């Protein structure tokens, strides 16, 4: 394995001043875009502009009018809420004991990993049907 570095001769004509001059050349200027500085955003209001050149005004939506009392069709009937006395309300359960709440929470936490595993199985099963 020969690691020999070959030297490539640099042209004698290219001097350091020429290389620096080439590097410092300014790129051509791009044309400017957009409106020129100092120009107005809008034309003056008193300017004579032909009617064809003006932008059309947007139409306003028609306002709704209440139906006249002489209209033949009666207004639609509204449903009424049933009175509170007629609704059947179940008797409220007695407040649960703090031990009962703690037991339910522990049961939920202990079976959480099983629920997650079951959900993952169901998800994967849908992929292969």
pLDDT at 68: 67
Please choose, from the candidates 102, 119, 100, 122, the residue with its C-alpha nearest in 3D space to the C-alpha of residue 110: 102
Which pTM was predicted? Answer: 0.24
pLDDT at 50: 64
DSSP strands (E only) in the chain: none
- The residues spanned by each domain of the chain are 99-129
Asked whether the predicted pLDDT for residue 67 surpasses 80, the reply is no
Token pair listed for 84:
């509170």
Residue 124, classed as helix, strand or coil, is helix
């Amino acid at each position: 394995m020969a690691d020999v570095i070959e030297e490539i001769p640099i042209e004698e004509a290219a001097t350091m001043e020429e290389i620096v001059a080439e590097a410092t050349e300014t790129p051509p200027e791009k044309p400017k875009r957009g409106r020129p500085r100092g120009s107005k955003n809008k034309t003056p209001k008193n300017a004579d502009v032909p009617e064809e050149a003006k932008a059309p005004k947007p139409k306003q939506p028609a306002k709704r009018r209440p139906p006249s009392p002489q209209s033949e069709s009666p207004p639609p009937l509204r449903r009424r809420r049933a009175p509170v006395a007629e609704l059947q309300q179940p008797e409220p359960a007695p407040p649960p004991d703090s031990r009962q709440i703690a037991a339910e929470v522990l049961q939920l936490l202990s079976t959480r990993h099983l629920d997650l595993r079951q959900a993952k199985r169901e998800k994967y099963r849908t992929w292969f049907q």
